[in-house]
Amino acid sequence: MSRETGSTPLVDLRDISISFGGIKAVDGVSLDLYPGEVVGLLGHNGAGKSTLIKILAGAYQMDSGEIWINGEKATINSPRDARDFNIETIYQTLALADNLDAASNLFLGRELTTKLGMVDDATMEAETRKIMARLNPNFKKLKEPVSALSGGQRQSVAIARAVYFDAKIVIMDEPTAALGVHETKMVADLIGELKKQGLGIFLISHDTREMMDLCDRVSVMKNGQMVGTERVEDVTEDDILSMIILGKNPKKAA
């Protein structure tokens, strides 16, 4: 499925605005996302990227605008609402419980229980083994607290959580910001895997090169507004940098 076939977008954000005090953090922004697509959000610090996706994630409530999911108007007032729409968020600061192991983190707040209502550690561990074998075959540290994991391994636990709970829409806010080269590659592979499974991904990063590699389309925000959205094959890295810095695409007439 693609945008060209005229299929229904997985997510359609329409004319979204939110202010904090007097500041319009997001100012009339529209953006969509199709199944199997990665859409990147770029822009300077404070451009409004995280705020926009936090509205979709239910962390903030917009002042005006509409969110459409699979062709239906959605009301998202809480992270729980977002979850009900199969939206999973992997934040800038990874929300994992450091003292717990991978399985406990994967099922945090959604623990599996036995027929008698006891927490079913054995099944949770087996399920974790299964999904990690699929997503990140080199992952062996199932029994250790996640504080002992590398940044990339922590990412894979967070991504496993999204996949296990049948996410259709994954939001990743700077997933590779604190990672080394090898780990960044691992997260890139995981994103490719999610894409193949038909999920839609919103990806935020400051690394323009990485975004050109990972995304199908990139959107640039500046001062709360949408500068533009381009298919990566239609633009150069310089075009994107111009959009970020100047607030317009030099290839397009003003």
Ligand X SMILES: Nc1ncnc2c1ncn2[C@@H]1O[C@H](COP(=O)(O)OP(=O)(O)OP(=O)(O)O)[C@@H](O)[C@H]1O
Query: Which residues are near ligand X by CB under 6 A?
Result: 20, 23, 25, 43, 45-51
Name the residue with the smallest CB distance to Mg ion: 50
- Residue 51 contact among ligand X, Mg ion, none, beta carbon within 5 to 8 Å by kind: ligand X
Considering only residues 91-110, where is the footprint of Mg ion by CB under 5 A?
A: none
Using the contact rule CB under 5 A, the part of the chain among 3-11, 48-56, 147-155, 191-199 near Mg ion is 48-56
Which C-beta is closer to ligand X: that of 55 or that of 159? 55
**Is the CB of 25 or the CB of 201 nearer to ligand X?**
25
- Of residues 9 and 48, the one with the C-beta less far from ligand X: 48
Nearest one of 63, 6, 11, 7 to 202, comparing CA atoms: 11
18 vs 26: CA distance, rounded Å: 5
Span from 31-39, 45-53, 77-85, 116-124 in contact with Mg ion (CB under 5 A): 45-53
For the CB of residue 138, give the shortest distance to Mg ion in the complex, in Å.
30
Query: Under a CB-based contact definition with an 8 Å cutoff, are residues 204 and 40 in contact?
Result: yes
Nearer to ligand X, 35 or 224 (CB): 224
Residues 34 and 7 sit within 8 Å (Cβ to Cβ): yes
Q: How far is the CB of 114 from ligand X (least distance, A)?
A: 41
State in angstroms the smallest separation of the CB of 103 from Mg ion.
30
Q: Which is nearer to ligand X, 8 or 19 (CB)?
A: 19
CB of 207 to ligand X, least distance (A): 12
CB 45 within 8 A of CB 38: no
* Residues 227, 112: Cα–Cα separation, whole Å: 45
CB of 136 to Mg ion, least distance (A): 26
Query: 8 or 225, CB closer to ligand X?
Result: 225
**Residue 45, binding choice from Mg ion, ligand X, none, Cβ under 5 to 8 Å by partner class:** ligand X
Which of residues 45 and 138 has its CB atom nearest to ligand X in the complex?
45
Question: Is residue 89 a contact residue for Mg ion (CB under 5 A)?
Answer: no
Work out whether 50 is an interface residue with Mg ion (CB under 5 A): yes
- For residue 28, the minimal CB distance to ligand X (Å) is 14
Minimum CB distance to Mg ion, residue 52 (Å): 9
Show the 3-state SS of the chain. Answer: CCHHHCCCCCEEEEEEEEEECCEEEEEEEEEEECCCCEEEEECCCCCCHHHHHHHHCCCCCCCEEEEEECCEEECCCCHHHHHHCCEEEECCCCCCCCCCEHHHHHCCCCCCECCCCCECHHHHHHHHHHHHHHHCCCCCCCCCEHHHCCHHHHHHHHHHHHHHCCCCEEEEECCCCCCCHHHHHHHHHHHHHHHHCCCEEEEECCCHHHHHHHCCEEEEEECCEEEEEEEHHHCCHHHHHHHHHHCCCCCCCC
Footprint on this chain of Mg ion (rule: CB under 5 A): 50
